[in-house]
Amino acid sequence: MKFNLRKKDYYICPYCFSKHKLNEVNFICSNDPDVCLNARNLKPIVPRSAEDKNEMPESIFCNECGQKTNIKICPTCSTELPYSIGEYDNLIFTVIGTKGAGKSHYIAVLIDKIMNEIASAFDYSFSAVDDATMKRYRNDFYNPVFRRNEIIGVTHSAKTDFSVKQPLIYNLTFRESGFFGMLLKSRMISNTVTITFFDTSGEDLDSEDMMKNVNKYIYNSSGLIFLIDPLQLESVRQRLPENIKLPEQNTEIEDLLSRTANLIRKENGIKVDKPIDIPVAVVFSKMDALESLIDSSSCINYPSSHARNGYFDLSDFEDVNDTIESLIRSFGEENFVNQLSSNFKEYAYFGMTALGCSPEEGKITKLKPHRVEDPFLWLLYKYKFIKGEKKK
Ligand SMILES: Nc1nc2c(ncn2[C@@H]2O[C@H](COP(=O)(O)OP(=O)(O)O)[C@@H](O)[C@H]2O)c(=O)[nH]1
Ligand SMILES: [Mg+2]
Ligand SMILES: [Zn+2]
Ligand SMILES: [Zn+2]
C-alpha cells in the first residue's frame, strides 16, 4: 500500500496544530509600526470574503494604513505561518520514543544527512522554512553535536518550555527529471512537500493525558518514527558485556506504543477493529552498542545503498526489516511486535546509530552516524516522493 497525497482543503497550523479551512487565515500589517497602528498592536486583519471560497488569500490590504501585506498568521495562536502554508502538501513526521531513546541526537544527525547527502542523491533541495527553524536547529542540535562534540541536553517538557513546541519545518522540493528536465535550463519544480519534525520530551509521553494535551501532532502525523533504545530492553541488558554502561530503565516500549495507538484512535475516531493507516517506522537506535550481539556479516552493518543508487533500494530495505524484526523477537519483545501489527496497517523495522559511539562524560568521542536516513526515505517512498527498485 502507498499513500496518496491529495490537495487538501484544510491546513494544520504547525505551531498549535489546530485545523483550519484554507480561507481561515489572518494577516498582520507589514508596515512600519511607527506608521500603522495595526502593525504596532499586532492586530490581526481578518479577510472579509473568507466565507466565499475555500482558497487561501495570497495577500490583503491593511484596513488601517492600506498597505498590502502577505504576512499570514494562525487565527488560533496568532503565530506567523510559513509562507508556503496551504500551498503544498504538508507531511508531519513525528519522532516518538521514551525518554533517552535518542530522539534529539537522531534529529540532529538526520537533518544534517538529508541536507548534505540525501538531497543531492535524490535530486531535491531541502531548506528551512523559517528563521526559527534555522536558528533552533543550529543552536540546539547542530552546534553541540557537530561543532562542540557534546551531547545534547535533555529536552524539556513541552508543557513547561515553549521552545520545545517549536517544530523544525523544512521544504523538500523535487525538480523535473528525465528528458524534459534536462532540456530546461532552470529545471521546473515538480513538487514541494513541507516536512515538519518534532522532538518530544520523554515526560510528555509518560501519560496518555499529557500526550493528548501537548502532542496533538501525533494524531495529525503523516508518519511516525518510533525510536526504541535497545539498551532499555531487559534481555539486551542481560546479554551485553559488563563494560557497556546502561541507561536508567524507564517506560516500557509497548506501553508507549499502545498509548500512541489509543490516542490516534480516539482523536481520529478509528474503531479498535480497524488498523490505523499512518505508516510507522520502528527504529532501533544506538545500534553501535549492540555490536557484540549482532553477526558481523549482517546487512545492518553495511551502509545503506539508497543514496548511492538514487532510488529506495527495496532489497536492502527488506533485508534490514527482516533482520531487525527477528532481532526484536529474539529479545523477547513478541508483545511489541504483535501490538504493532494489530494496530497499524503499514510498518517496518529499521536499525541505526546517530552517534556511532557511546558518549563518554558528555563528549562524543567519534561521531559516526550509520543508516540514519533509512526510515525517512521509506516514508518518502510510501508517499511516492521517491522511487523504489529491487536489485537484480
Ligand atoms: N551509544 C549511543 N548512545 C547514544 C546515541 N544517541 C544517543 N545516545 C545516548 O542516549 C542519550 C539520550 O539521547 P537523546 O537523543 O538525548 O534522547 P531523547 O531523550 O530521546 O531525546 C544521549 O545523551 C547519549 O548518551 C547513539 O547513537 N549511540
Ligand atoms: Mg531529547
Ligand atoms: Zn496556530
Ligand atoms: Zn497597516
Q: Which ligand is nearest to the CA of 20?
A: 3
d(CA 350, CA 312): 14
Answer yes or no: is 294 within a domain: yes
**Core vs surface per residue 17-43: b (16+ CB within 10 A) or e:** beebebbbbbbbbbbeeeebebbeeeb
String of b and e for 223-232 (b: at least 16 CB within 10 Å)? bbbbbbbbbb
Q: Same domain for 46 and 106?
A: no
Which secondary-structure segment (H or E) carries 175? strand 168-175
Q: Which of 385, 376, 383, 335 is nearest to 95 (CA)?
A: 376
| C-beta of 151 in contact with ligand 1 (< 6 A) | yes
Do 201 and 335 lie in one domain? The reply is: yes
- For residue 314, what is the domain's CATH number? 3.40.50.300
**Same domain membership, residue 254 and residue 121:** yes
Q: DSSP label at 128? A: E
Q: Are 171 and 30 in the same domain?
A: no
Residue 112 CA, ligand 2 centroid: distance in Å: 17
The distance of Cα 10 from the centroid of its chain, to the nearest Å, equals 20
Q: Which of 151, 203, 244, 251 to mutate to test the pocket of ligand 1 (most atoms within 8 A of CB)?
A: 151
Residues 51 and 104 in one domain: no
Q: How far is the CA of 284 from the centre of ligand 2 (A)?
A: 16
203 and 267 share one domain: yes
Asked if residue 131 belongs to a domain, the reply is: yes
The confidence score (pLDDT) of residue 190 equals: 59
| Residue 84 is assigned to a structural domain of this protein | no
Task: Give the end of a domain, one of 45, 73, 101.
Answer: 73
Q: Rounded to the nearest whole angstrom, what is the distance from the C-alpha of residue 62 to the centroid of ligand 4?
A: 5
Please, what is the angle between helix 314-330 and helix 374-382, to 10°? Answer: 120
Question: Does one domain contain both 323 and 193?
Answer: yes
Domain of 252, in residue numbers? 89-389
- Output the pLDDT for position 114: 93
253 closest CA partner among 345, 326, 332, 196: 332
Does the beta carbon of 104 lie inside 6 Å of ligand 1? yes
Q: Is residue 328 part of a domain?
A: yes
CA dihedral 294, 295, 297, 302 (to 10 degrees): 0
- Closest ligand 1 atom to the C-alpha of 201? 19
What three-state secondary structure class fits 72? strand
Q: Nearest ligand, CA of residue 144?
A: 1
Task: Tell whether 47 and 95 lie within a shared domain.
Answer: no
> In the beta sheet, which residues pair with residue 138?
none
Q: Any bridge partners for residue 360, and if so which?
A: 363
Supply the residue whose CA is at minimum distance from atom 14 of ligand 1: 102
Query: For residue 82, is it within any domain?
Result: no
Q: How many domains does the chain have?
A: 2
- The last residue of a domain, from among 25, 49, 73: 73
User: What are the pLDDT tens digits along the chain (392 aa)?
Assistant: 555 554 567 888 877 778 889 889 999 999 988 888 888 777 788 877 655 677 888 889 998 899 999 999 999 988 888 777 877 777 788 888 888 899 999 999 999 999 999 988 888 888 898 888 899 899 989 999 999 999 998 666 555 555 555 678 888 887 665 555 455 444 455 567 778 787 765 566 666 665 555 567 788 888 999 999 999 998 999 998 888 788 888 767 888 888 889 888 988 899 999 999 999 999 999 999 999 999 999 999 999 888 887 889 999 999 999 999 999 999 999 999 999 999 999 999 999 999 999 999 999 999 999 999 999 999 999 988 888 998 75
Q: Do both 155 and 239 map to the same domain? A: yes
Domain assignment present for residue 141? The answer is yes
**Domain shared by 68 and 124, yes or no:** no
Tell whether ligand 1 has an atom less than 6 A from the beta carbon of residue 101.
yes
**Distance from Cα 277 to the centre of ligand 1, integer Å:** 29
Residue at 79 is within a domain: no
Helix residue ranges, H only, the chain? 37-41, 103-113, 119-121, 131-136, 162-165, 178-183, 208-214, 216-219, 234-239, 253-268, 306-309, 314-330, 334-343, 374-382
Do residues 104 and 222 both lie within one domain? yes
The verdict on 111 and 227 lying in the same domain is yes
Domain assignment present for 2: no
